[in-house]
A and B are shown apart, each in its own frame.
Chain A
């Protein structure tokens, strides 16, 4: 395809082709500091018109590539950057066959990793982005990649996908040149991508040992609470958070068993980001140290 780009994000490399120039331009600006992709690329993503005339006429981007979700709705061309991100996520979710993929945000300090997983809207991305600006290294806001051979977590530091209220929170803390364009009115509301800081990108091939698993839950009227989570519950919740647990077979089972038996797990409820950040630091001091 005429417009294309290679990207290396943590252990995975992507080849992204597009029928339009704009999404590739936006991607290469957002990912400007990333290392050169290792070839051959692990995954191919295509942004293409659903029907030939939709290239010009009310252009809409359909997400294709090695792995596709049949029936996924196309996005308007203004949201081409989001389409590319979704395309890359999809390849990882459906195509990752070596590392156990957990839908989780991960940060690291002192070689040890904090894994946060929860429903969409639990605040994973926001917490990871904030921690990543305050003494932690961001490993990723979307996927934690557990290596069945070593038990270590590989970073996947793609651009953080900030939604709605979280955008202003981070805009107050991070230099403007690390943000992508504001995408207005996407299926998930307003979205703005944030490029992780230099350290997160430079150390993107450096794995970390899991030390604490948190299951955060956010609610405007949710009282602050901390609860211990046993290995069995953590196991079940993490299988639900994994897109390829079944696919990895015995390797996936063993990797996850090792993770939950060797790592403390806690569920936290919060209604303010500041509360969550405080709880993270307290629990980290108790459990991970």
Chain B
């Protein structure tokens, strides 16, 4: 397969390959990287390499933009911290904001959208009230959506700040309540690590478990290359620590996410060349190839390709999230709008 996502992955894995890429192909890599929200990561990865001037300027812009995203994400986290400080509730940053707050490689060049936080379930009401007090407002007005979120989801309906126009997702666990797997939110919070400003991030192993849950046990793999890149970077940061792989296996088992964690390690190794623990990753499976086909379904014009594979993963995502009857009802309500 030429161009597009496959070439993007090759460059992320091995920046030296950049020297052999022609200007036309660069246009394709850039379009694919933007579509996969990986241009900032790619630009950071290629930093310091001797590249043609025009390309270099384009990557400079991407790096500067990622730096702005980092500062903005940290500021938004600080705003949430201030809003919630008097509650004395543990506030755990998740995903992109956590990576930049903890100074991890996964945060370098990363695009960051919403602020994701995890708080204890029994404090949700208080957290919600404090956020609304501090200027956040509900995004969805629809009664069904609101009820659906509150009853079945792992997070509150999204809130947006009325002045800063930034969204916050307040999680109380990391998978929908309808999913078959039940991670332990209490264990995630109990093992979380405190940062200098009082905010918290997940423990290293839990961070990878969450990234894997996000990638394989929840969505339809949209944005999957970026999420898998997070996993690659996290494993490279933590993999050499004493006892890390045992810890990862124990935590994955505890959270009922051994399968997704193993799969994410195999795919990360296959696409990004990550060094992983062979025992935990397990032997390659035939289905891994389907996942790789889905992850690389993007051409050099930034277009989504392989519609059948995409559809299959879309259906799978709903199947994983909901028991059949609930799924049928949910699709029925959505279709009647």
A contact residues vs B (CB 8 Å cutoff) = 1, 15, 17, 38-42, 44, 46, 48, 64-67, 97-98, 247-249
Contacts and interface: CB of A to CB of B under 8 A. Distances in A.
Size class of the contact patch on chain B: 20 to 34
B126 interface: no
Contacts of A65: 302
A230 B332 CA distance: 57
A40 B27 contact: yes
A249 B26 contact: no
Residue among A40, A46, A64, A65 with max Cβ neighbours from chain B (10 Å)? A40
Contacts, number: 54
A97 B23 CA distance: 21
A41 B71 contact: no
A142 to B, nearest CB: 21
Contacts of A247: 65, 68
B23 A39 contact: yes
Interface of B: 23-24, 26-27, 29-31, 34-35, 54-55, 57-58, 60-62, 64-65, 68, 71-72, 301-303
Contacts of A17: 301
Given A40-B26, A40-B54, A40-B55, A97 B61 contact: yes
Contacts of A67: 34
Nearest to A247: B68
Contacts of A1: 301
Nearest to B68: A249
B23 A98 contact: no
Given A98-B64, A249-B68, A42 B58 contact: yes
Binding site secondary structure of chain B: helix
Contact of B35 (A38, A42, A66, A98): A66
A41 B68 CA distance: 23
B27 A97 contact: no
Contacts of B302: 44, 46, 65-66
Contacts of B61: 97-98
Contact of B54 (A38, A44, A97): A38
B20 to A, nearest CB: 15
Nearest to B34: A66
Contact of B62 (A46, A48, A97): A97
